[in-house]
Amino acid sequence: MENTKKKKKTIVNTIIDGISGIFLPIVNLLSAAGILKGVLAILTATAVLSGESETYLVLNAMADSLFYFLPVLLAFTAARKFGANPFTAVVIAGILLYPSLTTILEAGTTVHFLGLPLRGVTYHSSVIPMILAAGLLLFVERFFYKVLPDIVKGFLTPLLSILIVGFVTLFLFGPIGAVVGDVLAKGYEFVYGLSPIAAGLLLGAVVQPMVIFGFHWSFILIGMNNITVNGHDTVLALMGPPVFAQAGAALAVMIKTKDKPFKSICASAALSAVFGITEPAMFGVNLPKKKPMIGVCIGGGIGGALAGFSGAQAMTFAFPSLAALPVFFGNGFALYLVSCLSGFAIAFGVTLLLKFDTEPLPEKEKQVKLENA
């Protein structure tokens, strides 16, 4: 039994360390882009800047380009982490974001390739499909390097790798995340119909871990659809407290650590999370340290339950954040503010009480320096 538990822990730690290692090289970029998106949201919400202006168009491109093309960056860092060719991985990411193809796929249309259906999936800002693709790429490249003659392996290996891995990603890896997300979203709708408090508790506790795998996008699509059809939505309201919980946990780690560079990362990640971009806090701070995610789940769950009890609704679409709070103005708004503050405070307090190593691992520090060199 003990050996089994050790193996399970080792597998879990390996997965978490692997994901963290993929995101660490870009965590500061994620924080910078997240803060810029938050500032831009405040400027538009306060009517300082018009969302229809050309200045907004340029600034939004600066703020959003990293998140839109996130699969490209992950292709490079994941391939480097796994030992695959990072440039081949970037080409595969480019397939997922190729304009004429994504226009059709993001509309939900099924594309047929050699008679096989490729389900319509949104790949921009996605995480898991490209990480899985980079992992598969390693094995495909190794296979062809072994079996192909030296005279042709230089160009045939990337050619065959792009064809095989590109197809498997479009045919299998992308739809897997979409299907799982759809099932979870339907489960949420069922639970919310029974009890908004229970729905808030469950969604609030699990939605941030779901971000790791990209499963949260199905809930966001439900929120968009609800606003389009009904003029209001509850899903986005329940996703708010977990966002602030992520920020609270990162702030607690900042207070506990004595490492100044890591403090800086924690501070910028917490600020970015408050503005609705939780990836820097999750992948750069809370997930690598593992235990802060417990605080995130507890704070998000309790805050989500309060949000469900408040009955607050989003009147238009916006990713939950400090700047987006006016979107939820209406019945239950005051209690909704309490729910977001509770998510932040509970995650902060729980993370402060938990015991864990608060210093960055030397190996990871070296890796970040090498990647940024």
Instruction: With H, G, I as helix, E, B as strand and everything else as coil, classify residue 165.
Output: helix
**H or E segment to which residue 111 belongs:** strand 111-113
In this prediction, residue 299 carries a pLDDT of: 96
Q: ∠ at Cα 301 (296, 307), nearest 5°?
A: 120
User: What does the block give as tokens for 3?
Assistant: 């050996």
Amino acid at 222: I
Token pair 């709708």 is at which residue? 189
In this prediction, residue 166 carries a pLDDT of: 94
In this prediction, residue 16 carries a pLDDT of: 61
Alpha helices, DSSP H, located in the chain: 2-23, 27-45, 54-68, 70-82, 86-96, 99-105, 128-147, 150-168, 174-194, 196-213, 217-230, 235-238, 240-256, 260-274, 279-281, 287-289, 292-310, 333-353, 362-372
Core vs surface per residue 311-345: b (16+ CB within 10 A) or e: ebbbeebbbbbbbbbebbeeebbeebbbbbebbbb
Under a CB-based contact definition with an 8 Å cutoff, are residues 308 and 199 in contact?
yes
In this prediction, residue 361 carries a pLDDT of: 53
Q: Of 294, 262, 253, 270, whose CA–CA distance to 360 is shortest?
A: 262
* Structural domain spans, the chain: 69-194, 196-373
In this prediction, residue 75 carries a pLDDT of: 94
In this prediction, the residues of the chain whose per-residue pLDDT falls under 70 are: 1-17, 20, 27, 31, 34, 38, 177, 181-182, 184-185, 214, 217-218, 221, 224-231, 316-317, 360-373
Q: For residue 233, report the phi and psi dihedrals to the nearest 5 degrees.
A: -155, 145
pTM more than 0.95 = no
Give the gyration radius of the chain's Cα atoms: 21
Distance from C-alpha of 196 to C-alpha of 117, rounded to nearest angstrom: 37
